Structure 1
Amino acid sequence: MYFLSIGIGEYVKGNDDLIELRSAEISAQMVAEELIASGASYGIVLTSRLSEGKSGHVVTREDIINALIDIKKRMRADNAQSPRLLVYIMGHAYGDPQFDILFVQPGDAVVNPRERSQLGVSALVQKTIWNGDILSAAVNYRTHDSMRYMDDFLPSQIMPDLTRPLSGLETAMRAQELMQREEQSREQIGFPPEGNPPVPFVILFDNCYATIEQDIVVDAAFFSGIVRGMWDDIVSDGLVFYAAKPGTLTTDIPIPKFLSPTQEGQSMGRLGALLIKALRENSAPSFAQLRSAMEEGFQPDWEAPWKPYSRSSTISGDVAAVQLLPEKAGIGEFDRR
């Protein structure tokens, strides 16, 4: 079991509409600690603080991409035979309610209102971490070096600038063509016998949202084609949950006393609390059991019944039967960045 737990709590000047989000850092830390205590092998925690009591570092887009790549490298170094991946991310984000697209804003990115419109979608994609980046990284995780090219590919890297239709389009098309050739080759020869197993994954987008212009892909046909194809491909490869449907608002919650009675008065993300609750009730849940626990949600005393949003609950049978955390796992470690 490998994980990446991200809490984006601080933002650079220029994002005056984004308040400090300490609950994101708290959630990322609590999720990491619970996963390690439950038997995770290795993880990375990204928060806005370099160390306790020291601020000044913000989580960047490069931090997140590099962490995803480093976890894959660790899988290879461990010679992991049946790895699992969990990614938890909390921070401010923008969402499109018409297309389930979520753009998580890194701490160093300044996004202006124009970039939250259809015309500015390319800039938004390249400044933020959109859910397609995380999902494609998870789907394409392979533990064998022959798939190393996937380390360098994120959909946002081939997004042309829609404000200048010809700019970047040739590069984007070449990258798309290369990806298609690689996929065709893999279909013909299969995975190398020494490895390349798919990696079952759980992705938790525990984000606070601001709404962007609806149906942002209408005037972005190239982007729309990538997104629609990707969304159709990933529905059976793992579990994906959102604190609320992208484009709708959600809030953090007071930390439930049964999770941390010593942190009274502090807040955390909804999905973080729900994941910890699920792990404490079943230390080695299968993916199917975890899906059921997440879909049930929970009902704190302070608000109406709630459950997270998921675009699809369909997962393949072999993934559904996998245990998120092996029953005989030892105690691992996580790196704090």
Structure 2
Amino acid sequence: MSGEMRDLMAWATGRRGPGRVIVLEDSRHVGDVREMVGAESEDGHHRIFAPGDRMDLGENLVGYGGSFRECDAEASLGDDFYLQVQNYSITQYVSVIGPTLVRIADEADFEVWLGDADTAREKGEFADFLANPALLLADLPGLGAPLDGAGPRHRLYVRADGELTVSPYGSALGRLGDGLADLETVWQQVNAASVHPCAVTLATALPEPRRGAELESRPWLSEYLLAVDALRELRSRGVPRVRVSGFGGRLRPENHIAEPVRTPARHLVLWTDESAYLYTSEGSRLFELNRAAGELAELLLCQGSLEAAAEYGRRAALLKVQQFFARAGVVL
């Protein structure tokens, strides 16, 4: 994947990328956006996507065709990359034949998405289309994902009238001419008033009281989104039938015992009849384990510490698994 495509996918999903990504609806605003970014002396990498011929735009500027906002539409980068844009509620009924960005564009999409998440949690049955490696779910911070790539210091969307937000369905944070620090302040204020940030990302698609309440009642949604990533990664490696720990059961049934206070999910155990896997959001890394090691890793994750897990399993074996992952840079 090229650097341009990697930046675009980070912007579309709301995951933290290597720098700031800005998408414009109207190329007339390129000069104003460059001035705004240039005023931030601490800025490192940034990339701006604007409608038009990419050959005419210059350094750090990429031209695109089509729309990243409209559902049932297509966006393109030159002649080499085409991105379909679909709304969530119909994606299960269409064939995904290339890179596809799936949006929660209204309450109907949100309702179907919640239903799929609840089914996965209760029965361990995930909507099959979500595991397609060609598909990405947009605006994840508005659906329960961590906020480390959600704010205006990481992604911006510039509407045709000069209004600034973080995503095509986001609420306004300001207008061209406002400083990035001002946009960040507004973003933080809106989220501070929300029962479940990010309250900006999907604000024009969903009523915030409904979105916040539904997410607050499902504290496991960050795990669900991580599970979808893991299933997509495994499918790309030819492993199609996988169970996910915490969704319809555990690899080791005894591991359903009470969990610690929930924090945003970073690691997840999955398994097949033959193997177990640990997937980590940090670098999207995947480790294949035997089932015994998988059970111990699961116990460590369920209990949150070696000391708590040792009440239910052999400390020496748990320590061995913990140290193995520590050497690989993964803290269990």
Q: Please confirm whether the aligned pair reaches a TM-score higher than 0.5, indicating the same fold.
A: no
User: RCO higher in 1 or 2 (8 Å CA, sep ≥ 6)?
Assistant: 1
Greater Rg, structure 1 or structure 2? 2
Q: TM-score, length-normalised on structure 2?
A: 0.29
